[in-house]
Each structure stands twice: as structure tokens, then as C-alpha cells.
């Protein structure tokens, strides 16, 4: 058994409260329950964390890197919210930790405003899941597990 870190960035604590047409009706608690059930179905556990602060997200990625090196963690499922489109620091953190990071977006960021079309994280990510709603988190965990199995 190993851990999967499910990391959510700024404003994702507001899921299910507004903009259901864009982000769906699921709350962050619903998303985290889905991740825990998916990880458990594969014999793993999901550790879920949300922060509105860039530095806290970087600290969590660094800790994930340590756990990955110790063989305790298979990877990270990461929705960086708005920092996706702004953060060189998160790009550098993902590159630096050595653990696979799957970038997730609930909405199809490529079909939205031009400022959401670019991700600083994608070049550093091991995989990307975009536009499948909250179910994207399940798909990302499945992908991470499969990727670990075939390696
Ligand atoms: O589609 C995604 O998952 C996003 O990462 C969500 C971010 C957005 O900035 C990205 O461009 C795409 C927004 C986080 C959630 O924001 C909410 C705001 C109000 C109500 C509900 C959610």
C-alpha cells in the first residue's frame, strides 16, 4: 500500500457553492471522498490537501518528493487552480521533486478565456486530465496507478 497526494490549490474550497455550470455541483469534500474511494479500490490511500497559498502548495510538493523517495508515495494529483496559469515556482517544484505529478482541471481550460489556455505546469507534469469534471480526479488516480504498475 502507498499514498497518493491529492493537492488542490486556490479557490477549490469553493467548489459546489458557485459556478456549477463551469465546475459542477460536487463540493471539495465530494471530490476528496471520490479520490479516497478510488485509491482504496486499488489498495492505496489518498491524502487530500487544499491550500490557497502558493508556498504551502510548494511545501506539500517537497514533502511528496521526500515520501516518493522513501517509497511511501506513488505520485501527486494536482489541481493548482489559478496558479496553473501564473506560477513558475510551482513548475520548478514539480520538476524538482522527482515524483510523478498528474495535472487536473475540472473544466476544459482550452475552451475558456485565453489566459487559461496556457499552463506553466504542463511541461513538468507526467500527465494531464482536463475537462472531465470532478471525475477527472478519479481518472488521474487510475492513470497514476496504471503508470506505476507498468513501470
Ligand atoms: O478547471 C479547473 O479545475 C481550474 O483549475 C479551476 C480554477 C481556475 O482558475 C482554472 O483556470 C481551472 C478555479 C478554482 C475554483 O474556482 C471556483 C470559484 C468559485 C466557485 C467555485 C469554484
pLDDT one-digit tens code per residue, 14-44: 999 989 999 999 999 999 999 999 999 999 9
Which residue has its alpha carbon closest to ligand 1 atom 2? 105
Atom of ligand 1 nearest to the CA of 136: 3
| Cβ 22 vs Cβ 108: under 8 Å | no
Q: Classify residue 50 by burial, with Cβ atoms within 10 Å: 0-12, 13-18, 19+.
A: buried
Q: In the numeric block, which cell numbers belong to residue 17?
A: 457553492
Q: For the domain that residue 30 is a member of, what is the CATH number?
A: 3.40.50.9100
Pocket of ligand 1 (CB under 6 A): 11-12, 14-15, 17-19, 23, 79, 81-82, 84, 105-107, 109, 116
- For residue 150, is pLDDT > 80? no
Looking at residue 118, what is its pLDDT? 98
Those residues with Cβ within 8 angstroms of residue 117's Cβ, 6 or more apart along the chain or in another chain: 109, 110
* Domains identified in the chain, total number: 1
Query: Could you tell me the residue range of the domain that residue 104 belongs to?
Result: 3-150
CA 80 to ligand 1 center in whole angstroms: 9
| Cβ 141 vs Cβ 77: under 8 Å | yes
Atom of ligand 1 nearest to the CA of 105: 3
- For residue 151, is pLDDT > 70? no
Average pLDDT over residues 35-63: 98
Average pLDDT over residues 77-104: 98
Average pLDDT over residues 78-103: 98
Mean pLDDT score across all residues of the chain: 97
| Cβ 68 vs Cβ 151: under 8 Å | no
* Torsions phi, psi for 136 (to 5 deg): -60, -30
Looking at residue 149, what is its pLDDT? 83
DSSP letters, 53-71, are: -HHHHHHHHHHHHHHHHTT
Is the whole-model pTM more than 0.95?
Answer: yes
Q: Please say if 105 is a catalytic residue.
A: yes
Q: Please say if 53 is a catalytic residue.
A: no
Amino acid at each position: 500500500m502507498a499514498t497518493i497526494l491529492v493537492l488542490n490549490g486556490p479557490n477549490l474550497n469553493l467548489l459546489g457553492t458557485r459556478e456549477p455550470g463551469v465546475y459542477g455541483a460536487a463540493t471539495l469534500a465530494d471530490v476528496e471522498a471520490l479520490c479516497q474511494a478510488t485509491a482504496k479500490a486499488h489498495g492505496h490511500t489518498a491524502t487530500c490537501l487544499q491550500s490557497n497559498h502558493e508556498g504551502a502548495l510548494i511545501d506539500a510538493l517537497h514533502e511528496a518528493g521526500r515520501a516518493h523517495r522513501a517509497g511511501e508515495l506513488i505520485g501527486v494529483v494536482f489541481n493548482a487552480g489559478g496558479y496553473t496559469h501564473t506560477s513558475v515556482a510551482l513548475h520548478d517544484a514539480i520538476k524538482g521533486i522527482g515524483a510523478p505529478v498528474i495535472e487536473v482541471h475540472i473544466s476544459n481550460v482550452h475552451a475558456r478565456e485565453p489566459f487559461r489556455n496556457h499552463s506553466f505546469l504542463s511541461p513538468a507534469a507526467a500527465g494531464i486530465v482536463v475537462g472531465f469534471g470532478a471525475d477527472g480526479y478519479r481518472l488521474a488516480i487510475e492513470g497514476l496507478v496504471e503508470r506505476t504498475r507498468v513501470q
